[in-house]
Amino acid sequence: MPALPIQPLATRFAPSPTGLLHLGHGLSVLLAHQWARENGGKFLLRFDDIDAGRVRDAYYAATITDLAWLGVEADAPPVRQSSRLQLYAAALEKLRDMGLAYPCFCSRKDLAQSAAAPHGPAPIYPGTCRNLAPDAAAARLAAGDLPAWRLDMAAATTRTGPIIWHDMAGGAHTANAAAHGDIVLARRDAPTSYHLSSTIDDAEMGISHVVRGHDLLDATDVHRLLQALLTLPTPIYQHHALIGDAMGRRLAKRDGAAGLTAMRDAGVDGLRLAADLIDGKLPLGYCWVKA
Ligand code: GLU
């Protein structure tokens, strides 16, 4: 009997080169890397560098040096999203052809004015441009008015029906992509968005397991929806606990002291730190936090 094809295993780390990595990134990359090494899979590095205005050359190099310090090396040259824009354009076109994407001409100011609350989660888009008459939208496009492109969430979720996905760390989730509203598929200043490019690349790079922080748990609902719409394979997900500072605040790229480069410069032993993080041990002054 012929052997059954075995799905190759691969995982990835996908930082945005818009700042220096912190301890939380260190944990993500170490868990993904260890998972690949223990399971005979590939570990891949992808730079999510679609945000041209915020990307800096120095951050690509610092990322690679920080990872090497932790004992992490990718099994292939890093992938850069900025060189794969045509892949995302093709996916956007497919969603447009399915009648699920519409141009949005709202300015930042329009969006800020319609935001419900000054604090709290990102406001849901009120759908202003969803009902723009096709003629009016076409006229604005023809006049060179640059839109963002949004997903018609109600139409998209109706088309897929309910989606359930499994988290290796947290069990079954019923996706609630609708809670995100009409997400952006392509920004006005970038021909794609995090949700679209990440979903396309995970499929295109053959990523079988996505390991990332708990703060992206909700994003997975959107990614599962896009996978269903675009008939893409579904990775297995694992969302790990987040690291906070001594006050329990989630680390952010602006927290220089928690930065891996700062620790490296201060003479911290990267391999020792890596072994501790994998064992769930945090350096003094850090704690585990909920998303
Ligand atoms: N570029 C994203 C970030 O740095 C990647 C998130 C993901 O792993 O999907 O947050």
**Model confidence, pTM:** 0.94
CA 5 to centroid of ligand 1, rounded, Å:
30
Residue 31 confidence (pLDDT) above 80: yes
Mutate to test the pocket of ligand 1, among 16, 20, 55 (most ligand atoms within 8 A of CB): 16
Of ligand 1's listed atoms, the one at least distance from the Cα of 15 is: 4
CA 15 to centroid of ligand 1, rounded, Å:
5
Residue 120 confidence (pLDDT) above 60: no
Q: What is the pLDDT of residue 115?
A: 56
In percent, the amount of the chain with pLDDT more than 90 equals 86
164-168, 251-255, 267-271: which range is least confident on average? 251-255
Q: What is the pLDDT of residue 148?
A: 97
Quote the CA–CA distance of 230 and 227 in Å, as a whole number.
5
Of ligand 1's listed atoms, the one at least distance from the Cα of 48 is: 1
| Average pLDDT rounded to a whole number, residues 29-39 | 97
Residue 219 confidence (pLDDT) above 90: yes
Q: What is the pLDDT of residue 169?
A: 85
Of ligand 1's listed atoms, the one at least distance from the Cα of 13 is: 8
In percent, the amount of the chain with pLDDT more than 70 equals 93
Residue 282 confidence (pLDDT) above 70: yes
- Kindly report the protein residue whose alpha carbon is nearest to atom 2 of ligand 1: 15
Residue 59 confidence (pLDDT) above 80: yes
Quote the CA–CA distance of 95 and 219 in Å, as a whole number.
19
Residue 212 confidence (pLDDT) above 90: yes
Q: Cβ distance 222 to 180 under 8 Å?
A: yes
- Kindly report the protein residue whose alpha carbon is nearest to atom 10 of ligand 1: 15
Mutate to test the pocket of ligand 1, among 216, 238, 240 (most ligand atoms within 8 A of CB): 216
CA 25 to centroid of ligand 1, rounded, Å:
9
Query: Residue 148 pairs with which residues in a beta bridge?
Result: 104
* Residue 198 Cβ < 6 Å to ligand 1: yes
Residue 55 confidence (pLDDT) above 50: yes
- Kindly report the protein residue whose alpha carbon is nearest to atom 7 of ligand 1: 14
Sign of CA dihedral 166, 167, 169, 174: negative
Q: What is the pLDDT of residues 220-260, one digit of tens each?
A: 999 999 999 999 999 999 999 999 998 999 998 776 667 99
| Average pLDDT rounded to a whole number, residues 274-290 | 94
Q: How far, CA to CA in Å, does 119 sit from each of 45, 107, 112, 183, 244?
A: 34, 20, 12, 19, 20
CA 16 to centroid of ligand 1, rounded, Å:
7
Quote the CA–CA distance of 280 and 241 in Å, as a whole number.
10
pLDDT, mean over the chain: 93
CA 224 to centroid of ligand 1, rounded, Å:
15
User: If pLDDT is split at 50, 70 and 90, which confidence band does 209 have?
Assistant: very high
Q: What is the pLDDT of residue 1?
A: 60
Mutate to test the pocket of ligand 1, among 25, 48, 81, 200 (most ligand atoms within 8 A of CB): 48
Q: What is the pLDDT of residue 5?
A: 60
User: If pLDDT is split at 50, 70 and 90, which confidence band does 84 have?
Assistant: very high
Query: Residue 188 pairs with which residues in a beta bridge?
Result: none
Q: What is the pLDDT of residue 252?
A: 84
Quote the CA–CA distance of 233 and 253 in Å, as a whole number.
31
Q: Cβ distance 55 to 22 under 8 Å?
A: no
Q: What is the pLDDT of residue 291?
A: 64
